[in-house]
Amino acid sequence: MLEQILSYDLSLFSLILLIVLFVITKIKKDVISFSSTLFHWIIIVNMIGLIAEVMSWFFDLKPGFVNYLISYSSNFLVYLMAPIIVGLWASYLDYKLFSNRKRIYNRYFYMFPAMITFVILLFNIKVPLYFSIDQQTNVYTSGNLLPLQYLFVFSVYLYIIVLVIQNRKHKDTNIIKGIILFLAFPLLGSILQLLYNNLLFTWSSLAISLIVVYIFMETTSGSLDYLTRLYTRKILEIYVKSLIEDKKDFYVVMIDFDRFKEVNDLFGHSIGDKVLIEFSNIINETSNNYQLFASRLGGDEFLLVTQNNSEEVPKKLIEELKQKVNLHPYMSKFKFLSFSAGYVQYDHKMNLDDLLTAVDHKMYEKKINHKLMQKQIHDSDY
């Protein structure tokens, strides 16, 4: 008996991991969000699938009516949980991509495979469409419609892959990595289970993918600004302190929009948010050329860090950002909108507060000069 239980050690270990993960997510979450709720349900369904899969094998070939009921029920659950967890995964990943709860409600077709599977399994009680179990010997036999299960599951997988490909350039890399790894682990587990039929890999691989997704898509979310997906001030301070401790040479650039309040007042805060998002996308597009660490300090203020010794680099960076803003199809609609930027080279005598204060002063000098220039232009028109 003990040897048979130990033969399912991978599944048992995965189940323990999921229980620990569920408890951790419950403890660490200060706010229950829609994505965290979906994530909790995915963990629960994964645990049910793991237990049902072990039970379906544990009672296989063991005669007796009770064993038959347990074997049939566990196989019923295994087949039902597969499209349910895939539908939940699709909803979770879709929400991570678009952050739109209403969009998820409109895409209830993610759960269509689960609904159809449930109906087929009800008919399966009378007609062996997916599987049958002999009541005398408790021998499992697959049904003719079983390939439909794989068709349902992989059609949802394929849809999510297409969504990822279409939106890969506009989303946080941690989200894309998490989605790719989620798709990779279950696929690998399915292949291994096909090669080694006596070992249970599919649901265990799903458990591993949950750990990976938690690392990439749940624990890192606090490092990024909720709107712009740039780094938060807290992470900025950690990064700059590490550069200071390592005695690195670097420049910091502070950016603040001029007349941004007019965007919110004239067009609404949703348009203002869109401006900040598009500007952040411009920063991300430019970051590779300058090895930028980009963060949002708050509101319409941004701080960029670039490691170099040349003063020409921050100058060139600011000019390039201004050109891209002027040529941007969305940003260029707001003719009155521009930004002021100041930069400071790190002096090794400075601490973090000194550095931020210095660059803040430089930025406001530029902002005052810009206002004076605008006033002179305005006065000359009259």
Q: Residue 369: its pLDDT value, please?
A: 78
126: tokens are 């009378």
pLDDT tens digits for 57-75? Answer: 888 888 889 999 999 999 9
The angle subtended at Cα 223 by Cα 217 and Cα 228, nearest 5°, is 90
Provide the 10 A C-beta neighbour count for residue 177. 16
Mean pLDDT across 258-278: 89
Rounded CA-CA distance 64/75 in Å is: 16
Stretch 134-153: mean pLDDT, rounded? Answer: 88
Reply yes or no on domain 233-380 having CATH 3.40.250.10.
no
Question: What's the pLDDT score for residue 87?
Answer: 92
Q: What pLDDT digit, counting tens, does each position of 346-359 carry?
A: 998 888 889 999 99
Predicted pLDDT of residue 208: 79
Tens-digit pLDDT profile for residues 146-160: 888 888 888 887 888
**Cα angle 156-158-163, degrees, rounded to a multiple of 5:** 95
Share of the chain above pLDDT 70, in %: 84
Which range has the worst mean pLDDT, 62-76, 322-336, 359-373? 359-373
Domain 2-223 shares a fold with domain 233-380:
no
Which residue has better confidence, 49 or 373? 49
Q: 177-183 long-range CB contacts below 8 Å, 24 or more apart?
A: 177/216, 178/96, 178/212, 178/213, 178/215, 178/216, 178/217, 179/93, 179/96, 179/97, 181/209, 181/212, 181/213, 181/216, 182/89, 182/93, 182/209, 182/212, 182/213, 183/157
User: What separation in angstroms does the CA of 13 have from each of 7, 193, 214, 301?
Assistant: 11, 17, 18, 47
The answer to whether 216 touches 177, Cβ cutoff 8 Å, is yes
Residue 139 reports pLDDT greater than 60: yes
Whole-number Å distance between alpha carbons of 228 and 225? 6
Compute CA distances 197 → 61, 114, 190, 202, whole Å: 16, 25, 10, 11
Average pLDDT, rounded, for the chain: 83
pLDDT tens across 286-316, in order? 888 888 899 999 889 999 999 888 889 999 9
Give the pLDDT confidence score for residue 225 in this predicted structure.
Answer: 84
Span of 89-93, 97-101, 186-190, 233-237 with lowest mean pLDDT: 186-190
Q: What is the percent of the chain with per-residue pLDDT over 90, rounded to a whole number?
A: 32
> Domain boundaries in the chain?
2-223, 233-380
Residue pair 152/83 in contact by the 8 Å Cβ criterion: yes
pLDDT at 28 over 80: no
Residue 375 has pLDDT above 70, yes or no: no
Distance CA 11, CA 44 (A): 15
Give me the pLDDT at residue 61, please: 83
Q: Which CATH class is domain 2-223?
A: mainly alpha
For the question of whether the overall pTM of this predicted structure is more than 0.75, the answer is no
